[in-house]
Amino acid sequence: MLITRSVHPKLLVPGVKDFFGTKYKDHPAIWSRIFEKQTSDRAFEEIVEESGFGLAAEKGEGSSVIYDTTIEGPTQRFTHTNYALGFIVTEEEVDDNLYGEKAFSRAGALARSMRISKEVVHANTLNRSQNSSYVGADGQPLVSNAHPVVGGTQSNRLTNADLTEASLEDAMIQIYNTRDSRGLRIMPRAVKLVVSPSEMFNAFRILNANGQPNTANLNNPNAIREMGMTPEVIVDPYLDDADGWFIITDVPNGLLSFQRKALRFAEDGDFDTGNLKHKAAERYSQGWADWRGVYGNAGA
C-alpha cells in the first residue's frame, strides 16, 4: 500500500501548525516484567522436563537399598517467529512534503507498532492460557487443572473468583502446596500479581491496607503484607479479561521469551519508480516450559 500525496494532502500546503496522532509518549515495556528474557542463536530452543527421585524408604538391617530412577518428561520447543512491518512512500510525496519529519515521524510510528505488537504477542500467552487450542508440551493449556505428572495430575488453575483478599490467600495456599513431577513439595512463592487496569486499584488496596482489607475490624492484620508475602503488582492493559488475574511464582523456566534477532530497521529505494521502502523486523518466541511458574484465575 503506497503512501502518496493524496493520502496526506495537508502535507503539501503551508499553514499547518502541528499534527497529532503519532506523537504519544512511550512507556517501559510490560512483557519483560512478566517473562524471563533469554537469547537464542538457533532456529528454535527446547526446554526438557526432568523428574527427580521419589521419597526415601526405610532400609531394614541387611536388606538391599531401593533404587529409583529419574524420568524424562515433555519437551517444550520454542520456534522463533519473524515479525515485520513496513511502508512505502512515493518519490513525489517525499519531494513535495513541506513539513518532513516535523509533521510526524513515520519511522517512530513504525517502531511504536513493533513495540506494541510485542506486547500483544506476549500478552496472548496469558489471554489464551485456558484455551485448549493453545497447549504446551504436556498437551494442556498453560493454566489447567489436569497437568500430567508421574502418577497423576496437578493443577495451576485457581477456582474462578474475583480478586479479593480471600481469593488471593487461597491462591497463595495452593501455590505453597505445589509439588514437583514426583510429588515432592517445592513450596514456591508468589512474586508478581498481574492484573488488568480494571483491577489495579483493587490490587493495591488489598496488598497495602494497614489492616485486613474490606473489614471494619482494624485489629485484624493484613496477613499477606505482615508476613512479607506481598507480590509486585504488574498492570497489563493488553489482557483481554478485565477481571482475570495471574500470579507469577519464583519457579524457573516458567514464562519465557527468547530473542533471536533484535529489532532492526532498513530502507531502500526502488530504481524504476523512485519509491522509498522502509521496514522493521524482529524475531523472537515466547511461551512457557514449567507451568508451575504461573497460576491463573479467570475471575468470577
> What's the CA gap between 151 and 183, in Å, rounded?
9
Q: Name which of 151, 146, 143, 142 is nearest 76 in CA terms.
A: 142
pLDDT given for residue 212 in this prediction: 87
C-alpha cell at 128: 489464551
Residue 102 pLDDT? 56
Assess contact for 258 and 77: CB atoms under 8 A.
no
What nine digits make up the cell of 85?
512491518
- Mean pLDDT for 69-96 is 93
14 or 186: which leads in pLDDT: 186
Cell numbers at 89, concatenated: 512512500
Q: Which of the four pLDDT bands, split at 50, 70 and 90, describes residue 104?
A: low
Q: 68-82, 102-116, 178-192, 258-272: lowest mean pLDDT where?
A: 102-116
- Chain centroid to Cα 215, Å, comes to 33
**How many other CB atoms are found less than 10 A from the CB of residue 152?**
11
Where is average pLDDT lowest: 142-146, 247-251, 269-273, 281-285? 269-273
Residue 148 has a pLDDT of 95
For residue 1, give Cα distances in angstroms to 92, 124, 270: 15, 28, 15
Q: Residue 201 and residue 86: Cα distance in Å, rounded?
A: 38
Torsion, Cα 77 79 80 84, to 10 degrees, reads: -140
Report how far Cα 243 is from the mean position of its chain's Cα atoms.
17
Mean predicted confidence (pLDDT) in 132-143: 97
* Phi/psi at 66 (5° precision): -90, 130
**Predicted local distance difference test score (pLDDT) of residue 6:** 82
Q: Rounded to the nearest 5°, which phi and psi values hold at 197? A: -55, -30
For residue 192, pLDDT over 90 is answered with yes
Q: What is the C-alpha to C-alpha distance for residues 124 and 136, in angstroms, rounded to an integer?
A: 14
* Mean pLDDT in residue range 233-261: 98
* Three cell numbers written together for 260: 533471536
- Residues 234-243: pLDDT tens digits? 999 999 999 9
Sequence length of the chain is 300
Q: What is the pLDDT of residue 136?
A: 97
d(CA 136, CA 223): 35
pLDDT tens-digit map of 144-160: 999 999 989 999 999 99
**Taking 80 as the threshold, does the pLDDT of residue 51 lie above it?**
yes
Residue 83 is inside which H or E element, if any? Answer: strand 81-89
Q: Identify which has the larger pLDDT, 194 or 5.
A: 194
In eight-state DSSP terms, residue 298 is -
Collapsed DSSP state (helix, strand, coil) of residue 138: coil
> pLDDT-derived band of residue 103, with 50, 70 and 90 as boundaries?
low
The average pLDDT across 106-112 equals: 89
**Range in 27-41, 94-108, 191-205 with the lowest mean pLDDT:** 94-108
Percent of the chain with pLDDT over 70: 97
pLDDT score of 118: 98
Question: Which residues, 6 or more positions from 156, have their beta carbon under 8 angstroms from its beta carbon?
Answer: 142, 143, 144, 147, 178, 291, 292, 294, 295, 296
Average pLDDT for 109-115: 94
Tell me what the mean pLDDT of segment 35-46 comes to. Answer: 98
Q: Which CATH fold topology does 30-49+75-295 show?
A: phage-related protein like fold (3.90.1690)
The pair phi, psi for residue 89, each rounded to 5°, is: -115, 135
pLDDT for residue 100 is more than 80 = no
How far apart are alpha carbons 252 and 255 in whole angstroms? 8
Mean pLDDT estimate for the chain = 93
The SS3 assignment for 291 reads: helix
How many CA atoms lie within 13 Å of 46's alpha carbon, on the beta-carbon side? 7
267 secondary structure, DSSP code: E
Give the DSSP letter of residue 221: B
Whole-structure pTM value: 0.91
Give 199-230 pLDDT, tens digit per residue.
Answer: 999 999 999 988 888 776 667 899 999 999 99
Alpha-carbon gap, residue 27 to 178, rounded angstroms: 35
Q: How confident is the model at residue 252 (pLDDT cuts 50, 70, 90)?
A: very high
